[in-house]
Structure 1
Amino acid sequence: MNSYRLALLIAMVFLFGLLHGQTDKKSLDSLLLTDLTIDMQWFLAHQIGENDGEKFNEFTLKRGYVNIKKGISEKLSGRITTDLTVDEEGDGKGDIEIRLKYLYLKYQLEKFLFFHQPHFEFGLVHRPWIDFEQSVNDYRVEGQMFLERNDMINSADFGVVFMALLGDELDEEYQKNINDDFPGKYGSFSLGVFNGGGYHALENNNNKTLESRLTLRPLYQVFPGLQFTYHAALGRGNIEAEPHWHYQSAYLSLETRYSVVTLEGYNGKGNYKGTAIQDTLSYSAVPQKGYSVFGEAKLFNSAISLIGRYDDFSLAYNSGTQRTQRFITGVAYHFYKGSKIVVDYERIRYRNSATDDDYVLELALELRF
């Protein structure tokens, strides 16, 4: 069964469950439309560059998301998100693939202790880190975040996750002018257990991955945009040999009405795919470390942004260190509910290697509606 048919089948089962989960005698239209939201996010681009010594010049679909959310009861809701992308490696290379990124039930709990808006997601769910990072660095249209781009982690997976804000929400002014994601006065928290292979991979072993994130906002009264985050994960690589992997990372983010600055430091061993190994005899994990710096300056009442990012990532193989540097710079024009046009340039430098640099110059459009 191809991905499109699978997505359609799951959507039909989901809607069927919603209809039969109602206890009153509402009409079919009311059942389908009450507390239902549909939104979309598209990443389209034209790119010119060079990769592995081959030049390219192409229009492309980087991503296309369709989100369907439905309230089932006061505490229970569901979400399905389809992910459209170009198949770059499979049997249908060049085809547009439709796969699921999220399909979960969300159960909202009552506030307790210092946990505000606590809830569980079960199914194909958010993992703790990437969703948070992308709420600070809002330029996924340019490319993946630091750890995901270096195959350390994935943004979604099959499993269960618990999330909550720490304390009540920040005031409306902060949420309107700076950031309304994860607006806990003292921070936020997330902890989950997952298959480990990511949302677009089969489960190739019987082990599970544990991932967590703790974000603290120490000066919410005077500097609410300052946050400190510690996040970590451990598990076994998603191959039959099951090599151990783990990482830990510290993240500093500073958001104001006119700027965003982030700094992340990372170290670990192996990766979730099971590909960061010394050899296929011992399957021992490769030590890794790195850091990433991102900055955004917002100009002309936040209509224009200047962005820059630098990633430095190293793997310590027995045969020698493999180090990659990534330089990104660009300018963005913002319009309509977070939509933006971005012109950016990215160069990847392979240190300790004779491999030539890769680079790409692109005009990208992110459309949210």
Structure 2
Amino acid sequence: MKAIIKSIAAIAMFAFTAPAFAGGVSVYDNGESKLKLSGKVFVDVTNSKSDTTTAGVTSTTKTQGFNLGRAYLTGKYYFNSDWMMRITTDVATETAAGLGKTTNVYLKYAYLEGKLYGKALEMRLGVSHNPWIDYEQGLWKHRYFSKVSSDEFKYDDSADIGIGFKGKLADGLIGYWVTAVNGGGYGNLTKSNGIDYKSRVSIYPIEGLTIDLGYNTGYRGKKTFVANVATNPLKQSMYQIMVTYGTHDFRIGANYISNKDKASKNIDAKTAALWGWANVGNGFGVVGRYEQEKSNTLVAGAIPAGQAKQKRTRFLAGVSYDPTKHVTFTLGYIQDKTTALAHVVGDIAKTTQIGVWSQYTY
């Protein structure tokens, strides 16, 4: 009976004190084990207009209202200072066939992490981050407003199932992360008949400066072997370089991506991006991003003769405001324009959005 009373008292104390914890709620077990709970939500209210011109005819659609960008719930359990596990669920307004709802819950992360040789060699096993997207988001800091380039243009997935090794070497001068994954991304964890490999090497020569190189290769979950017949889709080969510089109060960055994704999208694309953000005082800041992609389709691994090159350009800018810790609002504008749409000269698609984007976490 005393044990039950103590348990009830502990739960009650946790319920009343939980909001006082910053950056998540920690529940301690015996010794050094603990459970940490955290959450993150993206909500925006925007006015959007899309114009599409094909064969000389323009059609227009407009939307306005509120949107749930993401809602994450994360639980991390630390066995000790070297080993932990994580589970994160994700909620998004994405229609799934047969569910009859536009808001769906699915798994984002579920992995075990352990230090095999201190910070120099750590292992992850399960559904975990791929090496690049989450890393760049940490530098960009405005994922609720816009994805980073390799995510926005669908060259890569933010998470996948497999095994990865990461660490820091030379007193933190060099960081690395390599993974072997199924390739279909966290939205398709099924096995195929091939393994994808993804990697990132980061160099930090002076404080505030990052130089990052990334390389992905594989079949993106498309290679199969059924009824003694093998499909051999051509591989994706994606190279990326990024240079950024900043401090606690600002960061600027530049990216270049070469993506020959013959595995799933049959494109040969080159993308460049410039981005930055800065805190200007009293909780206010500014943020901006410019991206341009030029791409061709591929047939039997080659670009068809005379094909028009499609060009997509994104521009966004905003003013951010942090009324309190863990809460951010951004009044922003986004323009997304594609010329030679579907590689047809004269066809154009253009979307503009103006509104307020927000992020709040615990």
Letter in 2 for 1:268: N
| Cα shift readout 1:261-316 (whole Å, capped 9, x = no counterpart) | 00001112016xx4422xxxxxxxx3211111101121016x21111100101212
Q: Which runs of 5+ in 2 are unaligned?
A: 1-27, 53-59, 225-230, 298-303, 342-346
| Cα shift readout 1:153-189 (whole Å, capped 9, x = no counterpart) | 0111001111112344xxxxxxxxxxxxxxx3x1411
Say if 2:85 is the partner of 1:105. no
Query: What is the aligned counterpart of 1:159 among 151, 162, 168?
Result: 162
CA distance in structure 2 between the partners assigned to 1:32 and 1:104 by the alignment: 22
Please, what TM-score do these two structures have when normalized by structure 1? 0.78
Residues 234 and 247 of structure 1 are in contact (CA less than 8 Å); yes or no, is this contact kept in structure 2?
yes
Query: What is the aligned counterpart of 1:276 among 240, 259, 265?
Result: 265
Say if 2:93 is the partner of 1:61. no
CA distance in structure 1 between the partners assigned to 2:350 and 2:256 by the alignment: 24
Residues 161 and 189 of structure 2 are in contact (CA less than 8 Å); yes or no, is this contact kept in structure 1?
no
Match of residue 210 from structure 1: 197
* 1:198 CA drift (Å): 0.6
Match of residue 266 from structure 1: 257
Q: Which runs of 5+ in 1 are unaligned?
A: 1-28, 169-183, 278-285
Once superposed, what is the RMSD of the aligned Cα atoms? 2.2
User: What percentage of aligned pairs have identical amino acids?
Assistant: 22
Match of residue 16 from structure 2: none
CA distance in structure 2 between the partners assigned to 1:331 and 1:163 by the alignment: 35
* 1:133 CA drift (Å): 0.2
Paired positions, count = 307
Match of residue 11 from structure 1: none
Distance change (3 Å), C-alpha of 1:357 and 1:93 = farther
Query: What is the aligned counterpart of 2:284 among 304, 309, 315?
Result: 304
How do 1:184-263 residues align onto structure 2 when only pairs under 5 Å count? 184=172, 186-203=173-190, 205-219=192-206, 224-239=207-222, 241=231, 242-263=233-254
* 1:352 CA drift (Å): 2.3
Letter in 2 for 1:47: T
Query: What is the aligned counterpart of 2:313 among 325, 328, 336?
Result: 325
Match of residue 338 from structure 2: 350
SS of the residue corresponding to residue 132 of structure 2 reads helix
Match of residue 359 from structure 2: 366
* 1:93 CA drift (Å): 6.0
Residues 237 and 270 of structure 1 are in contact (CA less than 8 Å); yes or no, is this contact kept in structure 2?
no
SS of the residue corresponding to residue 148 of structure 1 reads helix
Greater Rg over alpha carbons, structure:
2
**Larger proportion of strand:** 2
Distance change (3 Å), C-alpha of 1:100 and 1:89 = closer
CA distance in structure 2 between the partners assigned to 1:141 and 1:119 by the alignment: 29
* 1:331 CA drift (Å): 0.9
Say if 2:297 is the partner of 1:314. no
CA distance in structure 1 between the partners assigned to 2:329 and 2:210 by the alignment: 28
Please, what TM-score do these two structures have when normalized by structure 2? 0.79
Residues 87 and 93 of structure 1 are in contact (CA less than 8 Å); yes or no, is this contact kept in structure 2?
no
Distance change (3 Å), C-alpha of 1:74 and 1:191 = same
Residues 88 and 107 of structure 2 are in contact (CA less than 8 Å); yes or no, is this contact kept in structure 1?
yes
CA distance in structure 1 between the partners assigned to 2:236 and 2:274 by the alignment: 24
CA distance in structure 2 between the partners assigned to 1:57 and 1:90 by the alignment: 25
Residues 254 and 261 of structure 1 are in contact (CA less than 8 Å); yes or no, is this contact kept in structure 2?
yes
CA distance in structure 1 between the partners assigned to 2:291 and 2:250 by the alignment: 19
Distance change (3 Å), C-alpha of 1:103 and 1:202 = closer
Letter in 2 for 1:314: K
SS of the residue corresponding to residue 243 of structure 1 reads coil
